[in-house]
Structure 1
């Protein structure tokens, strides 16, 4: 886990404060997902690639299972709604969780202000260099804070609702994937889908708040 400093950014036209937090240096891999959950979704049979074909609800369940495995109090209280409208979060629990959208972009930028934190071919697997497949995590250059694959390889689920007044329960994902053109692989690029949505270039990485909660 990388210690991300506090900071500010403009998100959706609003200046937003981000407190310091912890974020995984890599997206969750198939090997990690299997070790925690005992099974892994369909996808490339390579243990080091980011896990894909995972829904937002799958990612939330993984976070809670990983918290239990490491002795932390789970962050989430799952509900019964397939729309995840009754899933509750306690960010002070000390458990693993999904980053918020503001946390994700702040961490991705790592103090930079451009469309991305480096040369696209050097930092990301995208349509121009991926050969149409997701690659092992951590095989492109990291950003200044040591985070790999924040842009390209796989999109990453965030906690936030996209725009509940317009899109209801749809959740945000960020970062661009191995099948995307350059304009989708930017620090500010946003997409959305239903929390049960699964696809072959959408994964996640885990965060933790600065707390010793157990």
Structure 2
């Protein structure tokens, strides 16, 4: 086990990113203001410190938390904000499947998928920010298990595990007309083949599902 700063945030500069969807064959550009994003996925240690819960199927303090649904991740962001004396970003009602994001709040939140991809790419233009073996835990090298955060090389902006290890929940709804309230997942996980561990790959899941290769990282608006 190596020690990592569990709440380290990295400031990401303003810019533009082009997103694409293989299913619909469409692409679209998104302009982004500067923001902050976690250097690591949220670990089991941090999740337990904030919530008192350890939901992961594979346990260990430096491992990314997994088996958390989208609602769990959003609620964690609010709890972490409250612990830090910040204004929670979300109003949440899981029973009614309602979630509202207060963009003026200074608290922690989930990244949008545009923020996630822009941060993942870190100024690079290829499918990955480095050789897959060096930057990601995926089916070819993970031993089909979870690994501690920060063990692989970071991207040029200092972000670890953007690809592989666990998928990251994002704020966005995937495609409301086709999939209803399903939320976006990004990044690939420890059980995925190499083609899933690319900056552009989009996956979806119902926000109430808890899966053993799905976790998240936090973000904050830079003006906060």
Q: TM-score range by the shorter chain?
A: over 0.9
Structure 2: distance between partners of 1:22 and 1:8: 15
Q: How many residues align?
A: 210
Does the 8 Å CA contact 1:126/1:181 hold for their aligned counterparts? Answer: yes
Give, in angstroms, the shift of residue 29 of structure 1.
Answer: 0.5
Give, in angstroms, the shift of residue 80 of structure 1.
Answer: 4.2
Greater mean alpha carbon deviation, residues 71-80 or residues 176-185: 71-80
Give, in angstroms, the shift of residue 5 of structure 1.
Answer: 0.6
Give, in angstroms, the shift of residue 42 of structure 1.
Answer: 3.3
Structure 2, unmatched stretches of 5+, are 1-8, 21-26
Q: Does structure 1 residue 64 correspond to structure 2 residue 107?
A: no
Question: After superposition, what is the alpha-carbon deviation per residue over 1:73-96, rounded to whole angstroms, capped at 9, x for unaligned?
Answer: 0000012435x3x21011220000
Instruction: Select which of 97, 107, 111 maps to 1:95.
Output: 107
Give, in angstroms, the shift of residue 41 of structure 1.
Answer: 0.2
Give, in angstroms, the shift of residue 192 of structure 1.
Answer: 0.3
Structure 2: distance between partners of 1:40 and 1:70: 21
Structure 2: distance between partners of 1:206 and 1:196: 19
For 1:144, what is the secondary structure of its paired residue? coil
Pair 1:76–1:34, CA change in 2 (3 A): same
Give, in angstroms, the shift of residue 15 of structure 1.
Answer: 1.5
TM-score by length of 1: 0.96
For 1:64, what is the secondary structure of its paired residue? helix
Does the 8 Å CA contact 1:93/1:211 hold for their aligned counterparts? Answer: no
Q: Does structure 1 residue 8 correspond to structure 2 residue 20?
A: no
Does the 8 Å CA contact 1:79/1:88 hold for their aligned counterparts? Answer: no
Q: Does structure 1 residue 180 correspond to structure 2 residue 192?
A: yes
TM-score by length of 2: 0.92
Structure 1, unmatched stretches of 5+, are none
Partner of 2:178: 166
Structure 1: distance between partners of 2:126 and 2:59: 35
Structure 2: distance between partners of 1:2 and 1:9: 18
Structure 1: distance between partners of 2:159 and 2:107: 20
Instruction: Select which of 45, 50, 56 maps to 1:42.
Output: 56
Give, in angstroms, the shift of residue 11 of structure 1.
Answer: 1.2
Give, in angstroms, the shift of residue 211 of structure 1.
Answer: 2.5
Give, in angstroms, the shift of residue 14 of structure 1.
Answer: 1.0
Structure 2: distance between partners of 1:19 and 1:207: 13
Question: What is the 5 A alignment of 1:1-214?
Answer: 1-12=9-20, 13-81=27-95, 84=97, 86-212=98-224
